[in-house]
Amino acid sequence: MFRIIKKSLKTGVVTGRYPQPTAPVPHMTDETKAKAAPFGKSLTIREVDTGSCNACEMEMNALANPVYDVERFGVHIAASPRHADALVVTGPVTANMERALKDVYQSTPDPKLVIALGDCAIDCGAFKGSYAVTGPVDRHIPVDVKIPGCPPRPAEILAALRALMAKTR
């Protein structure tokens, strides 16, 4: 017990210790902002991987670590699409995942937002045109926000989520 307390005291607070993002915050239309408005200061996210290389997942996971601590901004990660306000979709949508993506979208209660995370989700990236890929995401389900990057840094994802949740004037 003493060891654990000592470790915590020695470590101190690490939240916020990351370089500020240099990439511009993705553009959000008034329509998107209006769709996000009902969720106020709390947004529950379900992450769906439709064929990414796992780098985007690692950065989404990093959001939950003590350095970024996404929960302090009211963003929660849900275990089921039925609990989600927003879907975060990564990867170029493979032929094998297409149906699962559509099922997840159907299972998410309205109103809902869809965020395409990473270059693959936005335009299939390096996998564009492949026989095994049927994407990008917005070919199958409507996308509200696009966060580019390969992969986008956690700080960039966080900035985009905060911009989405920020109150309009």
Least gap, CB of 37 to other proteins (angstroms): 26
Nearer to other proteins, 41 or 99 (CB): 99
Burial 93-128 (b: 16+ CB within 10 A, else e): bbeebbeebeebbeebeeebbbbbbbbbbbbbbebe
Instruction: Give the Å distances, CA to CA, from 81 to 47, 78, 84.
Output: 8, 7, 5
Task: Read off the tokens for 143.
Answer: 């996308």
Residues within the interface to other proteins (CB under 8 A): 3-4, 7, 11, 14, 18-19, 47-62, 64-68, 77, 79-81, 91-92, 94-97, 99-100, 104, 125-127, 129-133, 150-151, 153
Name which of 127, 124, 118, 132 is nearest 90 in CA terms.
118
- Residue closer to other proteins by CB (options 72, 131) is 131
Which residue number, 15 or 42, has a Cβ lying nearer to other proteins?
A: 15
CB nearer other proteins, residue 28 or residue 117: 117
Nearest distance in Å: CB 3, other proteins: 6
Task: Work out how close the CB of 58 gets to other proteins at its nearest, in angstroms, rounded to a whole number.
Answer: 6
CA distance linking residue 89 with residue 52, whole number of Å? 9
